[in-house]
Structure 1
């Protein structure tokens, strides 16, 4: 499976949530129906794996 790339040729990893990137945090918060702060806390406690972050959010 080929990974998506940016216009500059950099690889994107959609399986991760970059907690420091506001647009990624905003997207995940909207998708899960929670606040941005909740997403940031989930990334901090569960790591940046999207599956782990979503599992952490659903536990609370």
Structure 2
């Protein structure tokens, strides 16, 4: 089931939902990663956006 786009609060802005294709796709394109790489990051580090962004930058620098 997709997110309700009519709700515009910021309850989960600090999380990346691995179940939402558009969130995973956006995160992947933002950091130049593949979708499987993003899913692996979420699996290994959880869905905290700050942590994932730090790890994605580190992965991109390798």
Give the structure-1-normalised TM-score: 0.75
Determine the structure 2 residue equivalent to 1:21: 20
Q: Which runs of 5+ in 1 are unaligned?
A: none
User: How many angstroms does 1:53 deviate by?
Assistant: 0.9
Judged with a 3 Å threshold, the aligned counterparts in structure 2 of structure 1 residues 11 and 43 are, in CA distance, closer, same or farther, namely same
**3-state secondary structure, aligned to 1:42:** helix
Q: Which runs of 5+ in 2 are unaligned?
A: none
Equivalent pairs counted in the alignment come to 56
